[in-house]
Amino acid sequence: MHHFHYKGGKLYAEGVSLDALAEEYGTPLYVYSGHTVVEHYKALDHALKPLDHLICYAMKANSTLALLRLLARQGSGFDLVSGGELFRVQQAGGDPGKCTFAGVGKTRAEIEQALRAGIYCFMVESEAELTFINEVATRLRKIAPVALRVNPNVDAKTHSKITTGTYENKFGIAFEEIPALYQRATALKHVTLRGVQMHIGSQITTAAPFAAAVKKMIPLVRELHRRHRLEFFDIGGGIGIVYEDALASGQPDWWKKKGAPLTPAAYAESVVPQLRTLGLKVLVEPGRFMVGNAGVLLSEVLYVKKTGKKNFVIIDAAMNDLIRPAFYDSYHEIVPLRAKTGKTIPSDVVGPICESGDTFAKDRPLQPLKTGDRIAFLSAGAYGFTMASNYNTRPRAAEILVEGTKVKLARKREALVDLIRGETA
Ligand code: LLP
């Protein structure tokens, strides 16, 4: 579901023409649909209604203040992975008391910052970290609320770089070691055991892996709750979105015809009945689901060149703006901002960066593009801007938030002086 549609031959974000935005703000340009974000939040919130629950939006997916503010207004909590993200939540008016803090390598400064801000819970990923949090909390004369992150060793069958729930990767604590570690934690005077957490991976497009992981966890969580009187079970994030058929998936009937990869209702159906039996608050940490289909990256064609058998479309966006295709071979649908007719030709869409990896699409059937044409990469709202860099000393793009016909410049395009800020020659 999203609000990007053609009207009169032009692509719109809600009530605003994307071509007009590109004209005014330049390209590359990220554009977000505020209503899409809020509707995703509400749909998931509704699906989880049978449970006492808290949605902690995994802001690593997109931490732009304007989006955080939208979600904070809905009552969302936030899943953080750094002190920088906590700072952003506070700047956006979010409630630290609804924040969880995950990650395998929290520093002393970050732990202190989170304790002072009064976050809801630390998600602890090793015994060493648990001991360290206790030590930092002792010094600050505070009690740190903690949950241990359980690695359920369930294969989420997603991309190898984003699978997290098996013993092959660095996350969490092995399932078998958990009861003893909870027991040892009771000896630490400055931590309090508040919950249990798991996260099995990202871009999971069927309900089965979630259901399997929850099923495996329930007896463990029940036992931990019996022994330690916990408050919550956090089942992580990972709900997948539509990439391949992204534009069409904005039509309400598409979901009925095609069957969604994973609707909030299907997700909830697979886990809620099991979770209800626990009598605990349930936390979820969706990132991509909340913002992925709510954002597009706009770019302009600089040159078209035919060499050998290839038709290269060289655009002004590059892997520094959207690294997912280069990094994960991921697919983003590409559509023109002004609808085209005519036969498609296989095209390689590439950026200006001096690396062959700076390729968005290979042999993609696209209607012929020419210099000055503008295109949109769909489903770019998650892990788009947050993974952007200044590689090749390229300024990072501007970001726009659209709500209805309202346009807000959420972030200015970086200027050349921004690129050398803090440096000494
Ligand atoms: N919770 C934890 C502990 C996580 O590690 C993650 C994502 C999430 C929640 C949110 O997952 P989501 O709901 O967004 O799937 N950059 C990659 C994705 C990396 C995901 C890292 N962890 C990409 O562009 O596909």
Q: How far is CA 87 from CA 61, 68, 142, 421, in A?
A: 16, 12, 20, 20
pLDDT confidence band for 171 (50 / 70 / 90): confident
Residue 164, pLDDT score: 62
Give the burial string for 25-36 (b: 16+ CB within 10 Å, else e): bebbbbbbbbbb
Q: Look at residue 383 and tell me if it is in a domain.
A: yes
Summarize pLDDT for 273-303 with one digit per residue, the tens.
Answer: 999 999 999 999 999 999 999 999 999 999 9
With a 6 Å cutoff on the Cβ, whether 172 touches ligand 1 is no
Question: Which of 259 and 329 is assigned the larger pLDDT?
Answer: 329
In angstroms, the CA 182 to CA 200 distance is: 21
Q: Both 253 and 138 in a single domain? A: yes
Q: What is the rounded average pLDDT of the residues 42-56?
A: 98
Is residue 173 a contact partner of residue 125, using CB atoms and an 8 Å limit? yes
What's the CA-to-centroid distance between 333 and ligand 1, angstroms? 21
Active site residue 56: no
**pLDDT cut 70: percent of the chain above it:** 96
Domain final position from 254, 287, 320: 287
Query: Domains in the chain: how many in total?
Result: 2
Domain CATH number, residue 362:
2.40.37.10
Measured in Å, residue 86 CA sits from the centre of ligand 1 at 17
CA of 323 to the centre of ligand 1 (A): 15
The two three-digit tokens of residue 206, written as one number = 């069927």
| Residues paired with 151 in a beta bridge | 174
Quote the domain boundaries for residue 301. Answer: 4-29+293-420
Q: Is the pLDDT of residue 168 over 80?
A: no
pLDDT of residue 166: 62
Same domain, 299 and 280: no
Residue 24 Cα to ligand 1 midpoint, Å, equals: 33
Residue 425 lies in a domain: no
Asked if residues 315 and 61 have their Cβ atoms less than 8 Å apart, the reply is: no
Asked if pLDDT for residue 56 goes beyond 70, the answer is: yes
- Which one-letter amino acid corresponds to residue 243? Y
Q: Is 79's C-beta closer than 6 angstroms to any atom of ligand 1? A: yes
pLDDT of 2 strictly over 80: yes
State the average pLDDT over residues 171-183: 93
The verdict on 370 and 313 lying in the same domain is yes
Of 24-28, 37-41, 255-259, 391-395, the least confident: 255-259
Ligand 1 proximity of 234 Cβ (cutoff 6 Å): no
Domain identity same for 367 and 226:
no
Residue 252, SS3?
helix
Residue 230 sits in the same domain as residue 346: no
Q: Which of the listed residues 37, 81, 101, 202 should we mutate to test ligand 1's pocket, taking the one with most ligand atoms within 8 A of CB?
A: 202
Residue of the nearest CA to atom 19 in ligand 1? 162
**Co-location of 271 and 298 in the same domain:** no
> Does the beta carbon of 58 sit less than 6 angstroms from any atom of ligand 1?
yes
| pLDDT category of residue 200 using cuts at 50, 70 and 90 | very high
Strand 334-336, strand 99-101: pairing: unpaired
| DSSP per-residue letters across 73-87 | HTT-EEEESSHHHHH
Over residues 301-351, the pLDDT tens digits come to: 999 999 888 999 999 999 999 999 999 999 999 999 999 988 999 999 999
Per-residue confidence (pLDDT) for residue 95, from 0 to 100: 98
How far does residue 372's CA lie from ligand 1's centre (Å)?
35
Question: What is the atom index within ligand 1 of the atom nearest the CA of 330?
Answer: 25
Question: What pLDDT score does 261 carry?
Answer: 75
Pair of tokens at residue 247 = 């534009």
Q: Which atom of ligand 1 is nearest to the CA of 204?
A: 15
Is residue 157 over pLDDT 80?
A: no
Is 236 found in the same domain as 87?
yes
Tell me: pLDDT of 162 over 80: no
Check pocket membership of 147 for ligand 1, CB cut-off 6 A. no
Phi-psi region of 102 (alpha: psi -120 to 50; beta: other; left: phi over 0): beta
pLDDT band of 163, cuts 50, 70, 90: low
> In whole numbers, what is the pLDDT of the chain averaged over residues?
95
Residue pLDDT, tens place only, 61-114: 999 999 999 999 999 999 999 999 999 999 999 999 999 999 999 999 999 999
Q: Average pLDDT for residues 232-237, to the nearest whole number?
A: 98
Q: Which two tokens stand for residue 228?
A: 């330690």
Tell if the pTM clears 0.95, that is, is over it: yes
Q: Is the pLDDT of residue 257 over 80?
A: no
In eight-state DSSP terms, residue 333 is: -
Residues 237-262: what's their mean pLDDT? 84
Give tens-digit pLDDT for 129-150: 999 999 999 999 999 999 999 9
Q: Which candidate in 56, 99, 121, 354 is catalytic?
A: 354
C-alpha of residue 55 to centroid of ligand 1, in Å? 15
**Cβ 383 under 6 angstroms from ligand 1:** yes
Q: Given CA atoms 355, 327, 336, 32 in this order, what sign does their dihedral have?
A: negative
For tokens 């648990």, name the residue: 130
